[in-house]
Amino acid sequence: MGQVVRIAIQKSGRLSEKSLEIIKNCGIKFGSDSRVLKEEASNFPLEFLYVRDDDIPSYVRDGVADIGIVGRNEFDEQAIDLEVIRDLGFAKCRLSIAVPNDFSYQGLASLEGKRIATSYPHILEGILSEKGIKATFVQVSGSVEVTPAIGLADVICDLVSTGATLAMNGLREVEKIYTSTAVMIGRKKMGNDEKAAILSRLLLRIDAVMRAASYKYVIFNLPEEHLDQVAGIVGGMKSPTVTRLMEKGWLSVQTVVAEDLFWDVFEQLKALGAQGILVTPIEKMTE
């Protein structure tokens, strides 16, 4: 029987859906019935292992899985000697210091001698010791934000995305010490050529899916005399596709635009007299 690469994915939580979506967009078919522990894709040598996110780094280290998708925060906190194969960009959040609203905060030095509740003592310790600050860590595995109110800690260090949880608990975010996104991790050496080849095939697809997600396909009509200026605006890309419209003096231009530049490009095209600007997502895109 041929080799199969086993990927560990969070069974149910903030990472689950997006992790599976990326793999689905790679054209890999599976049931994604995450009530099961394990399942195999029907058209690609990939097997899924659905587990708690905390277990993913050690499972990969021990060879229970070959690769896994986990928050960078979890990976760095565990400090297991593995490789980040890809930054997948989703599940973005930050690890922040938050203090009760009436706490007078003057910078990290205000944490000297304080009790800090956190689930990330290792990451926090790294940052505070760099600044020569000594504090007491109160390690909690959940509901970190309630610890100041119940007298367990003076301040907290916790993950934040919108900040709503902090506000609800009378806390204010005073310092962002670390940012995290979901990453794909693996051992530094796969130790099996056939598996390594499967992983390369998978990464080729993931890269195409991720590249596509960061670009839009843009089609617009443009007065012919402005064509030269357009090249400068949509820059970076190879020459746009240009076709002549029935109406004299007008062209139809098609090109790819990076998502984060889109609104800038849009405004500049408008200013050049572009009309009927049509924007569509790209499903896959190779170099």
Per CB under 6 A, the list member of 76, 154, 158, 175 interacting with ligand PRT is 158
Site stretch for ligand PRT (CB under 6 A), options 11-19, 38-46, 185-193, 214-222 = 11-19
- Residue 95, Cβ neighbours under 10 Å: how many? 24
Per CB under 6 A, the list member of 32, 165, 252, 268 interacting with ligand PRT is 165
Cβ 223 to Zn ion, closest distance in Å? 56
Which residues 22-61 are close enough to bind Zn ion by CB under 5 A? 53-54
Site stretch for ligand PRT (CB under 6 A), options 108-116, 155-163, 191-199, 234-242 = 155-163
Q: What is the dihedral of CA 58, 60, 62, 66, to 10 degrees?
A: 170
Which residues 67-96 are close enough to bind ligand PRT by CB under 6 A? 71, 73-74, 91, 93
- Rule CB under 6 A: say whether 118 interacts with ligand PRT: no
**Cα 252–254–260 angle (5° rounding)?**
130
Please return the burial class of 71, using the count of CB atoms within 10 Å of its CB with bins 0-12, 13-18 and 19+: buried
Q: If residue 98 lies in a helix (H) or strand (E), which one and from where to where? A: strand 93-100
Q: CB under 8 Å to 154, separation ≥6 — which residues?
A: 99, 100, 103, 114, 115, 116, 148
Site stretch for ligand PRT (CB under 6 A), options 9-17, 121-129, 185-193, 238-246 = 9-17
**Which residues form the interface with ligand PRT (CB under 6 A)?**
10, 13-15, 52-54, 71, 73-74, 91, 93, 158-165, 180
